[in-house]
Amino acid sequence: DTGVSQDPRHKITKRGQNVTFRCDPISEHNRLYWYRQTLGQGPEFLTYFQNEAQLEKSRLLSDRFSAERPKGSFSTLEIQRTEQGDSAMYLCASSLALGQYNEQFFGPGTRLTVL
């Protein structure tokens, strides 16, 4: 299966610790997105990359969050000094931005629990 993969699938951490998640997009896709989903809500956009350039960041992405996509392939999302409010499902998606419309394909997500 060559879909979007995310690692780890689950992460439990204590408040104040740093965590890092990884996303591997579909190999030929040039765009990569991060979303966050909390219970009872739809996914909320955090940031996206076209190749290695980070083109947009949501106001949800506080200074404690940083994302990278160093070689335009996989991406990492780091949360520093985690807070209980960071507990959520973190979703990665990728797309091939060629035509006028581009569907985003999602990975299975990383569920973060901050104790």
Partner 1 sequence: DQQVKQNSPSLSVQEGRISILNCDYTNSMFDYFLWYKKYPAEGPTFLISISSIKDKNEDGRFTVFLNKSAKHLSLHIVPSQPGDSAVYFCAASERGGSQGNLIFGKGTKLSVKP
Contact set with partner 1 (CB under 8 A): 4, 6, 31, 33, 40-45, 48, 55-56, 58, 91, 93, 95, 97, 99-109, 111
CA distance 13 to 83: 10
Q: How far is the CB of 16 from partner 1 (least distance, A)?
A: 27
Q: How far is the CB of 90 from partner 1 (least distance, A)?
A: 10
The nearer residue to partner 1, 22 or 80, going by C-beta atoms, is 22
* Sequence-distant (≥ 6) Cβ neighbours of residue 46 within 8 angstroms: 33, 34, 35, 36, 57, 58, 60, 61, 65, 67, 77
Q: How far is the CB of 19 from partner 1 (least distance, A)?
A: 19
The nearer residue to partner 1, 14 or 28, going by C-beta atoms, is 28
CA distance 13 to 18: 8
The nearer residue to partner 1, 40 or 70, going by C-beta atoms, is 40
CA distance 23 to 4: 7
